[in-house]
Amino acid sequence: MLITGHTVARGPDGRVMPGVLNADPAGAAASFRRLAELDTEVACFGHGEPLTSGAGARLRAVAGRLR
């Protein structure tokens, strides 16, 4: 189980995205990418419903699109 805090969020539509509560967008993106490297099944976020299966794959898909 991964607890991401505000590094990752999940919108009301279920979309996984970088958290918006940060003072350093580049650092936040780097943290998101590091979390996405973990092989995790369940992820809990600072905001939004948890992912209860395949969390690592979902995070990696989003991380691949980050600038």
One-letter amino acid of 34: R
Task: Please check whether residue 41 is in contact with residue 50, taking contact to mean a CB–CB distance below 8 angstroms.
Answer: no
Residue 14: CB atoms within 10 Å:
10
pLDDT of residue 27: 93
Task: Please check whether residue 16 is in contact with residue 44, taking contact to mean a CB–CB distance below 8 angstroms.
Answer: no
Q: What is the pLDDT of residues 29-56, one digit of tens each?
A: 999 999 999 999 999 999 999 999 999 9
Question: What does pTM read for this prediction?
Answer: 0.89
Give the mean model confidence (pLDDT) for residues 5-17: 95
